[in-house]
């Protein structure tokens, strides 16, 4: 079970949002590269980056900060990145720069043909981010709920050849209210590709609960606010996950 630190980028800084609201942001660091190195040095096995400005603008905005993170990590661990990725040229540029996996979110829902092309062009390196509330997918930085069922869409993307699904319960993200285990397990059981949980990880109890269902196909969880505010000791969390997995 991977405990994956999130580095959310806004205006070149590391921030956390509450429920995806840009105006509800807290700056945790003004040096993204140093923050990335911090998590690697504390036992991180993968990093999760989000270009928040990019997610809202529909194009990359924080590329300078992203490059500083890639440089600081130096290829020691894989990096997955999402936010504002809407074309193959952007994917190629990020992968060439040292990003391991690209996460497509809104564009996967609005333009499935693009996702299909991306999976074909970059096999094994495309992940899909599905953000949902009460089983329905949200797009455009969580600002719009669609009528799409999470499991139905995920199955379609699995057929395209995506590497894995990042599943976020947007009702819980940044709220420190615990992971939606039931919904995450239901999604993982419906798929043969791995699922990464996101949203709500608060403490070691949440890590234990996720490890207990790891054999359903859940390979990791993304954590942000909890490790920045100290309700979750990251090193202890990854150590516990290693022991239980």
Q: Is the separation of the CB atoms in 222 and 196 below 8 Å?
A: yes
Catalytic site includes residue 8: yes
- The per-residue pLDDT for 178 is 74
Catalytic site includes residue 149: no
CA Rg, the chain, in Å? 16
- The per-residue pLDDT for 176 is 60
- What confidence tens digit (pLDDT) does each residue in 78-92 have? 999 999 999 999 999
Chain centroid offset of residue 29 CA: 19
Exactly one of 51, 131, 173, 206 is catalytic; which is it? 131
Concatenated DSSP letters of 184-214:
HHHHHHH-SS-EEEES---SHHHHHHHHHTG
- The per-residue pLDDT for 29 is 87
- The per-residue pLDDT for 35 is 96
- The per-residue pLDDT for 172 is 63
- The per-residue pLDDT for 210 is 94
- The per-residue pLDDT for 67 is 97
- The per-residue pLDDT for 173 is 58
- The per-residue pLDDT for 227 is 94
Q: pTM of the entire structure? A: 0.93
Instruction: Report residues of the chain scoring pLDDT below 70.
Output: 19-20, 141-143, 172-177
Exactly one of 8, 51, 169, 173 is catalytic; which is it? 8
Nearest Cα residue to 220 out of 211, 229, 212, 228 = 211
- What confidence tens digit (pLDDT) does each residue in 139-195 have? 876 567 788 999 999 999 999 999 999 998 887 655 666 788 989 999 999 999 999
- The per-residue pLDDT for 26 is 85
């Amino acid at each position: 079970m991977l405990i994956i630190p999130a580095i959310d980028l806004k205006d070149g800084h590391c921030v956390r949002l509450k429920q995806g609201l840009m105006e509800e942001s807290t700056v945790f660091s003004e040096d993204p590269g140093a923050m990335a190195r911090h998590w690697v040095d504390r036992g991180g096995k993968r990093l999760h980056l989000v270009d928040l400005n990019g997610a809202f603008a529909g194009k990359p905005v924080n590329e300078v900060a992203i490059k500083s993170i890639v440089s600081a990590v130096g290829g020691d661990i894989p990096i997955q990145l999402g936010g504002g990725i809407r074309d193959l040229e952007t994917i190629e540029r990020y992968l060439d720069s040292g990003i391991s996996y690209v996460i497509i979110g809104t564009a996967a829902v609005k333009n499935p043909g693009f996702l299909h092309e991306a999976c074909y062009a970059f096999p094994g390196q495309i992940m899909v981010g599905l953000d949902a509330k009460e089983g329905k997918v949200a797009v455009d930085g969580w600002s719009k709920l669609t009528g799409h069922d999470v499991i139905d869409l995920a199955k379609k993307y699995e057929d395209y050849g995506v590497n894995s699904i990042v599943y976020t319960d947007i009702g819980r993200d940044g709220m420190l209210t615990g992971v939606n285990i039931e919904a995450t397990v239901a999604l993982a059981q419906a798929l043969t590709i791995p699922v990464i949980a996101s949203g709500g990880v608060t403490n070691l109890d949440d890590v234990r609960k996720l490890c207990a269902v790891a054999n359903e196909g859940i390979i990791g969880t993304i954590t942000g606010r909890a490790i920045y505010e100290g309700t979750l000791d990251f090193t202890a969390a990854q150590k516990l996950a290693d022991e239980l997995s």
